[in-house]
């Protein structure tokens, strides 16, 4: 007979319960332990990161790709990474009373919690900040965007951020992957698979911009910490990335104008520290002021982003023109059989 269950044998008339005794496996009595802190953190973790929400606002629903002419979103997404790490309590401003002597965007940040978030991009940035020397918010955004002359720090650039975010949204069931033909080549696109997720983001944006809501009411309705500041950060980042208008397409012209005026107001209020909200006092939980100062610093950088992107484009254009001039002069000299030597490389 089996050691686990004793079956009744036919022909034995015993009706005793002892004949049906079942021995339970020791494995069934084992219990799995959970850290209560992990459970609490999972409840307070947003379903989507700021980067994913901004990307969704810029994504064409059916086509599944971003505008080819958008030069701003890459830089804004790196700013969102820094904000997300700050809102999750992983980084904060260096606690130094002398920091107030410097502009907000030039103050140094540091890692205060090494616990990984489970989001690949966030964890990659967190590890870099952990092993690197302390740098300012603007420096980190520049380095992660690849905007640096220092060849020793080229490795800090986060590559293929948009594609990696899109694949993360595919894993979460928000997007799906398709192949689309663009003239001579195929490209992976990511149309929206769950429209309700994007609709909820748009609803949250419109509610914030065209109605009067107080920070306290927004925070009270959400389990996510700093819910109001998080939404403000997402709106300001989307505005800097030139994708916010996609959320306001269906508003009446007067409401759309009101919404953009409100964005300017939010950007002014939250790109300085301490925050100066006109909708009511923003509650700063004890011990989080240095992390929220990082948020203000990033928004301060994004508020100046037009000038940053413009300079980057002008520099790229200048390099391209110098290369064209160099090769044109070299070709002319070859044709005229002159042996005047030119430098080995382009002018810039």
- Statement: residue 312 has pLDDT above 50: no
- Statement: residue 270 has pLDDT above 60: yes
Residues in the chain: 348
What pLDDT, on a 0 to 100 scale, did the predictor assign at position 39? Answer: 47
Mean pLDDT value across residues 26-53 = 66
Phi, psi of 323 (to 5 degrees): -65, -40
Strand partners, 291: none
| Distance spanning both ends of the chain, measured CA to CA | 86
Rounded Cα–Cα distance for residues 345 and 39 (Å): 58
Q: Where is pLDDT greater, at 32 or 132?
A: 132
- Statement: residue 272 has pLDDT above 60: yes
Least confident of 8-17, 54-63, 320-329: 8-17
Pairing of strands 135-136, 108-111: antiparallel
77 C-beta neighbours (distance < 10 Å), count = 25
Mean pLDDT value across residues 51-65 = 94
What pLDDT, on a 0 to 100 scale, did the predictor assign at position 327? Answer: 64
What pLDDT, on a 0 to 100 scale, did the predictor assign at position 12? Answer: 46
Least confident of 88-102, 167-181, 205-219, 276-290: 276-290
Give pLDDT tens digits for 236-261.
Answer: 999 999 999 999 998 999 999 999 99
For the chain, domains (ranges, CATH) are: 37-303 (1.10.3630.10)
Give pLDDT tens digits for 68-122.
Answer: 778 899 999 999 999 999 999 999 999 998 999 999 999 999 999 999 999 999 9
What pLDDT, on a 0 to 100 scale, did the predictor assign at position 194? Answer: 95
Mean pLDDT value across residues 11-16 = 46
What pLDDT, on a 0 to 100 scale, did the predictor assign at position 44? Answer: 76
Reduce the secondary structure of the chain to three states and give it as a string: CCCCECCCCCCCCCCCHHHHCECCCHHHHCCCCCCHHHHHHHHHCCCCCHHHHHHHHHCCCCCCCCCCCCCCHHHHHHHHHHHHHHHCCCEEECCCHHHHHCCHHHCEEEECCCCCCCCHHHHHHHHHHHHCCCEEHHHHHHHHHCCCCCHHHHHHCCCCHHHHHHHHHHHCCCECCEEEEECCEEEEECCECCHHHHHHHHHHHHHHHHCCCCHHHHHHCCCCCCHHHHHHHHHHHHHHCCCHHHHCCCCCHHHHHHHHHHHHHHHHHHCCCCCCCCCCCCCCCCCCHHHHHHHHHHHHHHHCHHHHHHHHHHHHHHHHHHHHHHHHHHHHHHHCCCCCCCCCCCCC
Mean pLDDT value across residues 132-161 = 92
What pLDDT, on a 0 to 100 scale, did the predictor assign at position 316? Answer: 45
**What's the chain's average pLDDT?**
82
What pLDDT, on a 0 to 100 scale, did the predictor assign at position 185? Answer: 78
Q: 144 is written with which tokens? A: 């992660």
Least confident of 17-21, 72-76, 137-141: 17-21
What pLDDT, on a 0 to 100 scale, did the predictor assign at position 106? Answer: 95
Strand partners, 22: 5
Residues 6 or more apart in contact with residue 6 via CB below 8 angstroms? 19, 20, 21, 22
Give pLDDT tens digits for 163-201.
Answer: 999 999 999 999 999 988 777 778 889 999 999 999 999
Q: Which residues of 246-257 are buried (b: 16+ CB within 10 A; e: fewer)?
A: bbbeebeeeebe
Rounded Cα–Cα distance for residues 128 and 106 (Å): 19
- Statement: residue 281 has pLDDT above 80: no
Give pLDDT tens digits for 150-166.
Answer: 888 889 999 999 999 99
The share of the chain scoring above pLDDT 90, in percent, equals: 56
Q: 98 is written with which tokens? A: 């002398």
Q: Where is pLDDT greater, at 54 or 30?
A: 54
- Statement: residue 6 has pLDDT above 80: no
Q: 69 is written with which tokens? A: 């002419």
Residues 6 or more apart in contact with residue 16 via CB below 8 angstroms? none
Contact in structure between 58 and 50 (CB atoms under 8 Å): no
């Amino acid at each position: 007979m089996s050691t686990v269950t004793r079956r009744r044998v036919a022909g034995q008339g015993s009706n005793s319960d002892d004949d049906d005794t079942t021995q339970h496996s020791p494995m069934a009595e084992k219990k799995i332990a959970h850290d209560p802190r992990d459970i609490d953190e999972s409840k307070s973790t947003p379903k989507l990161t700021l980067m994913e929400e901004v990307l969704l606002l810029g994504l064409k629903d059916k086509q599944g790709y971003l505008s080819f002419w958008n030069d701003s979103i890459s830089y804004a997404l790196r700013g969102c990474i820094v904000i997300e790490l700050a809102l999750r309590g992983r980084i904060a401003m260096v606690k130094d009373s002398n920091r107030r002597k410097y502009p907000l965007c030039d103050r140094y940040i540091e890692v205060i919690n090494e616990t990984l978030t489970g989001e690949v991009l966030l964890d990659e940035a967190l590890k870099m900040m952990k092993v690197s020397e302390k740098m300012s918010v603007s420096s980190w955004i520049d380095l992660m965007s690849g905007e640096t002359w220092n060849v020793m720090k080229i490795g800090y650039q986060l590559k293929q951020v948009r594609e990696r975010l899109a694949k993360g949204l595919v894993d979460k069931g928000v997007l799906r992957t398709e192949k689309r033909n663009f003239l001579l080549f195929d490209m992976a696109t990511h149309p929206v698979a769950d429209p309700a997720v994007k609709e909820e983001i748009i609803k949250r944006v419109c509610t914030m911009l065209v109605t009067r809501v107080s920070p306290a009411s927004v925070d009270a309705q959400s389990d996510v910490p700093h819910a109001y500041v998080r939404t403000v950060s997402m709106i300001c980042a989307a505005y800097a990335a030139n994708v916010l208008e996609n959320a306001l397409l269906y508003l009446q012209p007067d409401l759309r104008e009101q919404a953009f005026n409100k964005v300017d107001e939010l950007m002014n209020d939250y790109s300085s520290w301490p925050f100066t909200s006109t909708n009511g006092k923003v509650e700063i939980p004890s011990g989080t002021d240095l992390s929220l100062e990082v948020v203000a610093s990033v928004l301060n950088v994004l508020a100046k982003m037009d000038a940053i992107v413009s300079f980057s484009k002008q520099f790229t254009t200048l390099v391209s023109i110098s290369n064209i001039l160099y090769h044109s002069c070299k070709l002319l000299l070859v044709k005229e059989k002159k042996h005047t030597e030119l430098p080995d490389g382009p002018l810039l």
